[in-house]
Chain A
Amino acid sequence: MVIAKNIVKTFKLSRQQKREMGDGFQGNTIDAVCNISFTCQPGRVFALLGPNGAGKTTALRMIATMLKPTSGSISVAEYDTVAQSQAVRENLGFLTGNTGLYDRLTPNEMVRYFADLHGMNSADYNTRRDHLFALLDMEAFANRRIGKLSTGMKQKVSIVRTIIHDPEVIVFDEPTAGLDVVTSRNIVHLIRDCRNVGKTVIFSTHRMGEVSLLSDDLAIIHKGQLQFNGTLEDFQNQMQTPTLEDEFIRIVEDE
């Protein structure tokens, strides 16, 4: 379970960033996330929705302990992200669309590296590795250098790297951005599989199609503020426009 309570993230701006904000901007800081709260339940998929620059990635990075909230608190699998960051990371898998892989390693070496960092023993690793490699049909390229793999193959390696330690909470930050249809479908299947085995799944996106396909709960975030937080069903019930996409645009533009 992930519980975010009144989280705020304020960034100090450099001179160049202030210039880029335009003449109308006053002050030295910007609130990327302003006082947002939400809960993601095990066995459910939570979608974090918002246009580019809304604060989705900042919120997810706080969940993943990469950023500390300026105020408020987040608990992941009952561990506090600031006070117990290491325990949080032990129970977390984090995948971004932009996930970097080590080009000079092979998929086998890459996955083994992260398994070792998570302290997995050889027996558990071998069982889990064999299961995931077979599931994603990865054996054929398991010993080829990652730098020589296709985008789809690389994405599979990223997926296995993210879930090799069987984390309780899995975070996907715009996982399908820039990917082809086949690879995107792999991700969608993975998210569903994770939900079906009782994992807490959070994913951020700006594609409404993915939301209706996958999510149980959703939050809409715009300019760092929470615009909606509830179940997909609630959202559909209170829509003022015919489609999810139109409703999303209406909420964002009204702001």
Chain B
Amino acid sequence: MKPILTIFKKEFKDITRDRRSMMMMFIIPMLLFPLLFTIATVFTTRQTQKVRTKTLVVALITHGNAEAFREILLKRDDLKIREDIAEDIIPQFIQSDSIDAAIRFDEQFDAQIADLRRGQIHLYFKSSRDMDASRNRLTTLIRDYENQIVNDRFQRLALDRMIVDPVQVRRHDIASQRERIGKSVGGFLPYIFVLMCFMGCMYPALDLGAGEKERATLETLLVAPVSKIQILLGKCGVIVLSGFASIANSFIGFFIAIMLQREIVARILDALQGMFEISSILLVLSLCLPLTIFFAAALMSVSIFAKSFKEAQSIMAPLNIIIIIPVFIGFLPGIELNVITSLIPVLNVSLASKEIFAGTIKLPLLFEVYASLTKWFERESTIFRET
């Protein structure tokens, strides 16, 4: 045990003096969430604001119909109405951004409405632009106009509007705010945690395995009176610590990110803070520990197997993508934690974390995840012994 501790202490000291490893352990995990949140919020808010206040240039062709609607449009400050554009060149004008949208009424529109028939309005727009703002804003105006026509008709016919609305559906969602947010945000968080855990393990593994080989320091260590398994365990301890520190720092980063967000609605903020109860965090961290050990063992094996730092990097880079696949599957709708998914490494941690954050984790499945992760670690340690 003492040689393992000696190697662990030395490697820990060595790694804390390596800027790249410290970046992966502390700086990146702590800054990632605040940066992502800030960028996302700032850009989304700005874009939404821009789209909401933008004056839309709209071509209007009424053929003398819908005078009331035309007047509504002309009175609005957020619309600039152009009535000089011919029907056949509307698509070109929208395509070239000369106008944002166009509204065209059928020639018989008023007559059809008067006869209690259906009149047609054509709305031209480009959905790929400005978050589909033109269509949304104009559809609202058209719907108001349509409502007005419907009300006129009911009045004319002396009927109650309830005749066409016989059923009223009232929705009662019994899922708590935390559950709803937990299921969506909780699905995204494991993606970052698993990735951070992998990245946190990767650099020390590269340095302590292939890096030592390349610097010819491994040779001197192999001549010391310690067994290979002791060397590997000492080194792996530091890799696990680094990976685990990355996850813990991601949590801190996420918490800072939430605290910094002023735009988040108070009730969502409360739910997010509720997700970060100490018990939830400890439970997720306890799940991440065997996963970190699994990553550390796998990466150390690769690193020791590789002839050089470069070769180890070239093997680990595709692994980075491979571990994202099970996490990504955890995002997919309908994929839930069950007796089968709780056996699949990485995916089980991703799904279990989601359930923990939502506060809906079932204990038997949680234990199955632990059992599965422990089993996988045992298999990896077999690889160790053969190294």
CB-nearest residue of chain A to B10: A113
Chain B residues near A118 (CB-CB < 8 A): 224-225
Of B12-20, B149-157, B295-303, the one touching chain A:
B12-20
A101 contacts B217, CB within 8 Å? yes
Of A45-53, A87-95, A223-231, the one touching chain B:
A87-95
B17 contacts A96, CB within 8 Å? no
- Contact check: which of A64, A98, A101, A119 meets B223 at CB < 8 Å? A64
Min Cβ gap B115→A in Å is: 87
What string of 1s and 0s marks CB contacts (under 8 Å) between A70-102 and chain B?
Answer: 000000000000000011011010101011111
Q: How far is B2's CA from A103's CA once the two chains are assembled, in angstroms?
A: 24
Q: How far is B217's CA from A90's CA once the two chains are assembled, in angstroms?
A: 18
Q: How far is B224's CA from A92's CA once the two chains are assembled, in angstroms?
A: 8
23 contacts between A and B (CB under 8 A): A64-B223, A65-B222, A66-B223, A86-B226, A87-B225, A89-B223, A90-B225, A92-B223, A99-B216, A100-B215, A100-B216, A102-B14, A104-B17, A104-B18, A105-B14, A109-B10, A113-B6, A114-B220, A117-B6, A117-B225, A118-B224, A118-B225, A119-B2
CB-nearest residue of chain B to A90: B225
A100 contacts B220, CB within 8 Å? yes
Q: How far is B7's CA from A86's CA once the two chains are assembled, in angstroms?
A: 16
B side interface size, CB within 8 A: 23
- Contact check: which of B2, B215, B216, B225 meets A86 at CB < 8 Å? B225
Q: How far is B361's CA from A220's CA once the two chains are assembled, in angstroms?
A: 72
Q: How far is B10's CA from A103's CA once the two chains are assembled, in angstroms?
A: 12
Query: Is A68 in the interface zone, CB < 8 Å from B?
Result: no
B227 contacts A86, CB within 8 Å? yes
Given A102-B14, A105-B14, A117-B216 contact (CB < 8 Å): no
Query: Is A161 in the interface zone, CB < 8 Å from B?
Result: yes
Q: How far is B134's CA from A194's CA once the two chains are assembled, in angstroms?
A: 89
Having A103-B215, A117-B226, one finds 8 other A-B pairs with CB under 8 Å, namely A66-B219, A98-B216, A99-B219, A104-B18, A109-B10, A114-B220, A114-B224, A117-B221
Chain A residues near B18 (CB-CB < 8 A): 104
CB-nearest residue of chain A to B18: A104
Q: How far is B225's CA from A65's CA once the two chains are assembled, in angstroms?
A: 10
Query: Is A137 in the interface zone, CB < 8 Å from B?
Result: no
B216 contacts A89, CB within 8 Å? no
Q: How far is B223's CA from A96's CA once the two chains are assembled, in angstroms?
A: 12
Query: Is B64 in the interface zone, CB < 8 Å from A?
Result: no
Chain A residues near B222 (CB-CB < 8 A): 65-66
- Contact check: which of B13, B216, B218 meets A109 at CB < 8 Å? B13
Query: Is A246 in the interface zone, CB < 8 Å from B?
Result: no
CB-nearest residue of chain A to B221: A117
Given A113-B6, A117-B6, A94-B223 contact (CB < 8 Å): yes
A102 contacts B226, CB within 8 Å? no
Of residues 94 through 138 on chain A, the ones whose CB sits less than 8 Å from some CB of chain B are 94, 96, 98-105, 109, 113-114, 116-119
Min Cβ gap B179→A in Å is: 48
A65 contacts B6, CB within 8 Å? no
Q: How far is B217's CA from A116's CA once the two chains are assembled, in angstroms?
A: 16
Q: How far is B257's CA from A92's CA once the two chains are assembled, in angstroms?
A: 55
B219 contacts A96, CB within 8 Å? yes
Of residues 12 through 45 on chain B, the ones whose CB sits less than 8 Å from some CB of chain A are 13-14, 17-18
B225 contacts A89, CB within 8 Å? yes
- Contact check: which of A87, A119, A161 meets B220 at CB < 8 Å? A161
Most central of A64, A65, A114, A117 by chain B CB within 10 Å: A117
Chain A residues near B227 (CB-CB < 8 A): 86
Min Cβ gap A208→B in Å is: 27
B220 contacts A99, CB within 8 Å? yes
Min Cβ gap B8→A in Å is: 11
Min Cβ gap A105→B in Å is: 7
Q: How far is B212's CA from A105's CA once the two chains are assembled, in angstroms?
A: 14
A100 contacts B219, CB within 8 Å? yes
Min Cβ gap B1→A in Å is: 12
A100 contacts B225, CB within 8 Å? no
Min Cβ gap A63→B in Å is: 10
A105 contacts B224, CB within 8 Å? no
Chain B residues near A94 (CB-CB < 8 A): 220, 223
Q: How far is B221's CA from A78's CA once the two chains are assembled, in angstroms?
A: 22
Chain B residues near A161 (CB-CB < 8 A): 220
